[in-house]
Chain A
Amino acid sequence: MKKIDADILIIGGGTAGCLAAVEAKEKNPDLKVVILEKGHIDRSGCLAAGMNAINAYINPGETAESFVKYVRNDARGLIREDLVRSMGQELNSVVKRVEDWGLPILKDTEGNYQARGRWNIKINGESLKPILADAARKAGAEIYNRVAVTNLLTQDGRVTGAVGFGLRDGEFYAVSAKATIVATGGASGIYKPNNDGSAHHKIWYSPFNTGAGYAMGIRAGAEMTSFEMRFVALRTKDAIAPTGTLALGFGAKQVNALGEEFMVEKYADVGGNGAPTCYRTYGPTLENKEGRGPCYMDTTHLTSDDSYNLKKSYLNMYPHIVLYWAGNGKDPSVEPVEIAGTEPYITGGHCQAGYWITEDRGTTLPGLYAAGDVAGGAPYKFVSGCWAEGVIAARAAVEYVMTGSNPDVSDAVLAAEEKRVRAPQQRWDESGDGVSPREMEEKLQSVMDEYAGGIKTFYEISEARLKIAGKEIEKLKGQTQFLIARDLHELNLAHEVIDRIDVAHVLIKHLLHRQETRWPGFTTNQDFPERDDEEWLKFINTRLNPETGDVEIVERAYSQVVS
């Protein structure tokens, strides 16, 4: 067992985690800041392939307040305005910081950042992740790569660190920390993906962000918010590449098979092509369902030079779409790009599923802070919002550390967790019989797809179906004891599916509770198809009661901060 004492532990060295590490070391260089990262920090998480834009930036003429108003409308009236505003206030300074570390940001002839839509700027971000990793290293963070964190440590309700296992060395890691920041990103792989079989990981969100941060918080009794605001992304069909590049970067509009601009024609009341994100998924989903599909992003106005630049832009972020076009003999300036909705993801970055936090990013568990896609209440975060949250959380954690000492962790607690962690490998060694992580993942995904509003049902949910999903997930929870893992790689896969099941379990409670349709397209409630502000302009939160083991609902009020 490897025991480590830290002042601040950061779980997940991704977008938010790297900025948190740098900020903590800058605020107090004497602190020992430890990062536990499941992958390798140079290329882990959502940024592995790179980025081509920063999607949350206060361009000239805008303010943190105008940002809050925009995000509020995009999220259909319900956001934590305090969180979105404090994030908005940090956006431009974090972007400048990362530019100073070497990120190429595209500029116009006068030297201003090139805007791409109202809140975005263009970057050459192929190496964004190594740039962030270098900064964290240079700042003096102690980085442990290939350590998968499996649970938080707690003492009398306070978080005192975390445990996990090394994917390379097989060691059990126990980190005792005065303050902990969780930054593990969101969750993919809960629902059946667009492509299956040999392309089941051809998904948009990182297939290696599996909701670990949510799951460990759920198990430790942290309050979670808004899981029911699932993110269904509008993406290019097959390759599942982001469409923002086409719409914002290259002026492409959505059309159906008849060539109708249905967003303009049918959704003018909510903003047409500029409608809230959920409507831009809902529109084409309904066109498809009602027989007017396939739908496209119309790129045929592009010149061949534009087409070249479009490919260049994707190479910075999502290179294989370019290979996909080449292989299929498709040229976006000649034919429009077919689009599809993805399976639902759980994320606090595009949507607002995650830890319920205070303005300083403290969770409901003392000693634990949350930043990035794992943190709830503040959608429209994207890379720069995750940086902002990492910075805000680190400042608070640095303060908190001053009040605490390194807690002792009981050997009995560690031994019990190590046993839980190694169980799938032990089962394989002892009996060789059981369920593989892949089998269990596929079962979870097919249940969620069919009964909890996946692609198959056009993201529609009903109480009758959700109840079936709930029952099946309970059964799956009981089955995790039969998971087998032949090696450390499979052990990681086993814990990923355990975490996803815990997330799905809570998600269903959220979906059942919200008796309205606030975000059509993300989740359309067949029993309650209308938005109902009188009853439901409030947050739905959940918390596992440690005594009973039940997930309890807590409703929290919405509060308007910006008028």
Chain B
Amino acid sequence: MTVKIDLKRCNGCKNLDAPRCEKLCPGDLMTLNPETGKAYIRSEADCWDCMVCVKACPMLAIETKLPYTLAYFGASLKPKTGKDKITWTLKNSDGTVETFEIETRF
């Protein structure tokens, strides 16, 4: 399973102490390409789909993609992380959209 990185959006977290995805991935999978200064995943197959990097990316540049063997094309799940809540937008493959707003800490 894996994540896809939108290279147009990724800015390498230039203004932060460390790239968020690289800092937090529990599997040490995300890092920057020294040539482009943009993020890449070292091994797609090693991703756990925990979505930690997806939720942490300040540029909303990362998306979880299930392999085609597990799920058909067309759906998406996008989190937006706030200080004490998270908002998820789920696009079903039939085009319908559901949103979920959940408190995360108080």
In residues 80-97 of chain B, which contact A (Cβ within 8 Å)?
A: 86, 88, 90-94
**Inter-chain contact B92/A320, CB cutoff 8 Å:** no
**Inter-chain contact B27/A198, CB cutoff 8 Å:** no
Q: Name the residue of chain A whose CB is nearest to the CB of B65.
A: A323
**Inter-chain contact B75/A323, CB cutoff 8 Å:** yes
Q: Which of B28, B45, B75, B90 contacts A201 (CB 8 A)?
A: B45
Stretch at the interface among B8-16, B32-40, B49-57: B49-57
**Inter-chain contact B106/A102, CB cutoff 8 Å:** yes
Which residues on A sit within 8 Å (CB–CB) of B2?
198
Q: How far is the CA of A560 from the CA of B44 in the complex (A)?
A: 49
Which residues on A sit within 8 Å (CB–CB) of B92?
326, 329
Q: Name the residue of chain B whose CB is nearest to the CB of A103.
A: B105
Q: How far is the CA of A126 from the CA of B64 in the complex (A)?
A: 17
Proximity string of chain B (45-86) to chain A, C-beta cutoff 8 Å, 1 when within and 0 when not: 111111110001000000010110111111111010000001
Q: How far is the CA of A195 from the CA of B1 in the complex (A)?
A: 10
**Inter-chain contact A208/B71, CB cutoff 8 Å:** no
A96 at the binding interface (Cβ < 8 Å): no
Report how many residues on chain B are interfacial, defined by Cβ distance under 8 Å. 46
**Inter-chain contact A324/B70, CB cutoff 8 Å:** yes
Closest CB of chain A to B28's CB: distance in Å? 6
- Assuming the contacts A126-B104, A326-B90, asked whether A49 and B51 have C-beta atoms less than 8 A apart, the reply is yes
Q: Name the residue of chain B whose CB is nearest to the CB of A493.
A: B46
Closest CB of chain B to A136's CB: distance in Å? 15
**Inter-chain contact A328/B48, CB cutoff 8 Å:** no
Q: How far is the CA of A167 from the CA of B48 in the complex (A)?
A: 19
B98 at the binding interface (Cβ < 8 Å): yes
- Assuming the contacts A131-B105, A323-B90, A326-B93, asked whether A202 and B49 have C-beta atoms less than 8 A apart, the reply is yes
Closest CB of chain B to A330's CB: distance in Å? 9
Which residues on B sit within 8 Å (CB–CB) of A323?
64, 66, 71, 75-77, 90
**Chain A interface helix/strand/loop/mixed:** loop
**Inter-chain contact A316/B45, CB cutoff 8 Å:** no
Stretch at the interface among A38-46, A56-64, A220-228, A443-451: A38-46
Which residues on A sit within 8 Å (CB–CB) of B46?
200-201, 207
- Assuming the contacts A48-B50, A126-B102, A315-B100, asked whether A489 and B66 have C-beta atoms less than 8 A apart, the reply is no
**Inter-chain contact A146/B28, CB cutoff 8 Å:** yes
Closest CB of chain A to B51's CB: distance in Å? 5
B103 at the binding interface (Cβ < 8 Å): yes
**Inter-chain contact A326/B26, CB cutoff 8 Å:** no
- Assuming the contacts A49-B51, A207-B27, A326-B92, asked whether A199 and B69 have C-beta atoms less than 8 A apart, the reply is yes
Closest CB of chain B to A47's CB: distance in Å? 9
B7 at the binding interface (Cβ < 8 Å): no
**Inter-chain contact B105/A102, CB cutoff 8 Å:** yes
Q: How far is the CA of A146 from the CA of B27 in the complex (A)?
A: 10
B4 at the binding interface (Cβ < 8 Å): no
Q: How far is the CA of A255 from the CA of B25 in the complex (A)?
A: 37
**Inter-chain contact A202/B28, CB cutoff 8 Å:** no
**Inter-chain contact A127/B26, CB cutoff 8 Å:** no
Which residues on B sit within 8 Å (CB–CB) of A478?
none
A247 at the binding interface (Cβ < 8 Å): no
Which residues on B sit within 8 Å (CB–CB) of A308?
98, 100
Closest CB of chain B to A172's CB: distance in Å? 18
Chain A: residues with CB nearer than 8 A to chain B?
Answer: 39-40, 42-45, 48-49, 102-104, 124, 126-127, 130-131, 146, 167, 195, 197-203, 206-208, 238-239, 308, 311-312, 315-316, 319-320, 322-324, 326-329, 489, 492
